[in-house]
Homo-oligomer: A and B are copies of this chain.
Amino acid sequence: MSADTSEAQAGAAPQRSPSRLRVAVIDRDPGFLQVLTNRLDALRWDHRALSSAVTAEVLVAMRLNALVVDVAVLGPGSWEYLERVCARLPGLAVIVCTGPSSVVQRVRGLRLGADAWVTKPCHPEELICVMEAAVRRHRRTEMPAIEAAATVGEVTIRPDLYQAYRGTASLELTAREFEILHLLVQSDRVLRREEIYERVWGYAMAHGDRSVDVFVRKLRQKLRTASPEWSYIHTHFGVGYRFAPEADNGRPSEVDERQDAELSADLLDEEAGLDPAFAG
How often does this chain occur in the complex, in copies? 2
How close is A136's CB to chain B, nearest CB, in angstroms?
8
Complex Cα distance, B175 from A280, in Å, reads 30
* Min C-beta distance of A95 to chain B, whole Å: 10
Chain A residues touching B, majority SS = mixed
Interchain CB contact under 8 A, A160 and B141: no
Asked if A254 is an interface residue, CB under 8 A from chain B, the answer is no
Cross-chain contact of A269 among B115, B138, B145, B148 (Cβ < 8 A):
B148
Q: Does A91 contact B (CB under 8 A)?
A: yes
Q: List the B residue with the shortest CB-CB distance to A143.
A: B187
Number of A residues, CB within 8 Å of B = 78
CB-defined contacts of A22 to chain B, threshold 8 Å: 278
Against B, the Cβ 8 Å flags (1 = close, 0 = not) of A118-151 are 0000010110011011101110111111111111
Q: Do A190 and B133 touch (CB < 8 A)?
A: no
Pairs A–B under 8 Å by Cβ, sample size 16: A2-B273, A19-B277, A106-B129, A111-B132, A114-B133, A116-B130, A137-B137, A143-B186, A148-B270, A150-B270, A160-B189, A161-B242, A162-B236, A162-B239, A175-B237, A275-B278
Assess whether A176 is interfacial by the CB under 8 Å rule: yes
Contact: B189 with A266, CB < 8 Å?
A: no
With A133-B110, A278-B22 as contacts: A236 and B175 at CB distance below 8 Å: yes
Q: Are A151 and B237 interface neighbours, CB within 8 A?
A: no
Which of B90, B107, B146, B277 meets A189, CB within 8 Å?
A: B146
Chain B residues positioned under 8 Å from A190 (CB to CB):
160-162
Q: Residue A50 at the B interface, CB < 8 A? A: no
- In the assembled complex, A231 has its CB within 8 A of some CB on chain B: no
Residues in B with CB closer than 8 Å to A150 are 267, 270
A63 CB–B CB distance under 8 Å: yes
Given A91-B141, A156-B263, check contact A273 B1 (CB 8 Å). Answer: yes
Tell me if A250 counts as interface (CB < 8 A to partner B).
Answer: no
Asked if A175 contacts B238 (CB within 8 A), the reply is: yes
Smallest beta-carbon distance A214→chain B, Å: 16
**Interface flags, A22-38, vs B, CB<8A=1, else 0:** 10000000000000000
Residues of B within 8 A of A3 (CB): 270, 275
> A208: CB under 8 A from chain B?
no
For residue A76, CB closer than 8 A to chain B, the reply is no
